[in-house]
Amino acid sequence: MATLRDIRKRIHSVENIKQITKAMEMVAAARLRRAQAKAEQSQPYARKMRQILENLASASTDFTHPLYQEREVKRTGLVVVAADRGLCGSYNTNLFQAADRFLKNYPPDKIELILVGRKGVDYYRRRKWKIKHRIPEWGGKISFIQIKSLANKLVIWFQSGELDEVWLIYTHFISIASRKVLVEKFLNLEKPQSKKRKLFSDYIFEPNPAEIYAEILPRYCITKIQTVLAQAYASELAARMISMGAATKNAEEMIEDLTLVRNKARQASITKEMLEITSGAEALK
């Protein structure tokens, strides 16, 4: 049976852990407010840009662009957006499970990974997958220049034929308590549906739709990557806040249980001492 000293040490250790988890919960909550606003604001902008592209495409029935090109898939690129750190519940685990299910459909020599986040880099490096590009440390603070560079790389690799298609796997932010891992095709881009062409046929574009489209389409790709990263970071912070909140609650419950055990041990010790004193007094009579 543990002694009073051992129980006190354990209570002290759990209290220290509780302070750490509580601090991490508060930090995640403070960062989440900004990240959530950024994630929510990024979606309308991306949708509006997509609508503009559809308007432009509808102005010309014979309009084509290299990013819409469909070709035989010989090599696939997969962008996996993970976290830099753990202590965020099943956030990374769910992401990797979805990515692994996707990878089962491809031979290892036919797919190349583009990894964002140290956890993803470590996970797939241990499994010997070919990594084409990596951003091992981003922590939600990746600059617009880096985002633009990543999007441009993906576009260049697709247009040059290094990659025949590009997919994204990331965690979509729904609410603080709800997130969903999404697998989305990034390139080639999906062409606007024919039913949408009639809705915007009265628009007039100058100098011409093709030139405007060629200018806006790369920006749309950058916006898409920026939106994905914003969604992933907000999801990571929400998962970490909830996970650390649960850890703090568990620590509090453990402290209560240990305190009860300590009090019982102390009472037993006092009772034992009193019995010894009483027995000694009786023996002296």
CA distance 200 to 253: 61
Query: What's the Cα-to-Cα distance from 16 to each of 196, 202, 225, 242, 272, rounded to whole Å?
Result: 60, 67, 40, 19, 32
**Taking the domain 32-239, which CATH number applies?**
3.40.1380.10
- The sheet carrying 76-81 orders its strands as 131-135, 111-116, 76-81, 165-175, 178-187
Joined together, the tokens standing for residue 201 give 């046929």
Cβ–Cβ < 8 Å for 220, 187: no
CA distance 170 to 184: 9
Report the chain's C-alpha Rg in angstroms. 29
pLDDT in tens, the chain (285 residues): 678 888 889 999 999 999 999 999 999 999 999 999 999 888 888 888 888 777 776 666 566 778 888 888 899 999 999 999 889 999 999 999 999 999 999 998 899 999 999 999 999 999 989 899 999 888 777 888 999 999 999 999 999 999 999 999 999 999 999 999 999 999 888 776 544 445 555 667 677 777 777 788 888 899 999 999 999 999 999 999 999 999 999 999 999 999 998 888 888 778 877 777 777 766 766
Helix segments in 105-186, DSSP class H: 118-126, 144-160
Residue in the structure block whose two tokens are 């649960």: 246
Domain segments of the chain as ranges: 32-239
Catalytic annotation, pick one of 11, 59, 88, 166: 88
Joined together, the tokens standing for residue 283 give 């023996």
| 88 among known catalytic residues | yes
